[in-house]
Amino acid sequence: MTTALGNATMIRLLLVVTLPLYILDQITKWWIVLNFKEPSVVQIDGKLYGYEDTRPVIEGFFNLVRRHNQGVAFGIGNGTTWAPVVFLLVLIVAIFVILYFWKKGAFTGPSKWSAPLLMAGIVGNLTDRLLQGFWLEGYKDAGFWERLGQGYVVDFLDFFLPVVNYRWPAFNVADSCISIAAVLLFLTALTEGVKEWKEKKKDS
């Protein structure tokens, strides 16, 4: 009975939270892909420069940009041949791990919302890695596996923090979902830790 209720709750959260966020993630990414030029490398006076189609929204603070991320957070793995395949497999495994721990009742308290947020973020970025490589102009005549290997995540939200003179790595809706889920997991762990500490103090 508990398992049935747990599955019903998970399905409800997937429909109410995961699905809308996944759709929003994909719509925003495809709008960027269809309206922004691909990143490229240009040669000026014998020197190579990376080019990104960047459009200011709030001058000096917030831009929209088309950035291809084949790696993970902060661009780790970008430009490598192994990153698209390895991180594709990692995302698939992560989905099964989340479902497994949900059935085990691991998501309680605030972390109940982290599961559908994680699913939205992981599936959103997984979709990119599966499809985006097939839309690259330079690989339109390449074979299936080569184009799949060029898969990347579309990052487009670009913030510059003038107070600390730091440009935050570009991200997307899916990344935001994963980050919020991580905060919820941390808060749940903190809450449970404090609760356990109070119970031990009470018994001592």
Determine which one of 25, 128, 155, 158 is catalytic.
Answer: 155
- Is 203 among the catalytic positions? no
Taking the C-alpha atoms of residue 162 and residue 192, their distance in angstroms, rounded to an integer, is 37
Who's near 145: CB < 8 A, 6+ residues apart?
Answer: none
CA-based R_g, the chain, Å: 20
Active-site residue, selected from the candidate residues 25, 128, 158, 175: 175
Pairing of strands 47-51, 54-58: unpaired
Give the span between the Cα atoms of 121 and 59, in whole angstroms. Answer: 28
Q: CA 27, 97, 144: angle at the middle one, nearest 5?
A: 55
155 as an active site residue: the answer is yes
**What sign results for the dihedral spanned by CA atoms 82, 84, 87, 92?**
negative
Q: What are the residue numbers of the active site? A: 155, 175
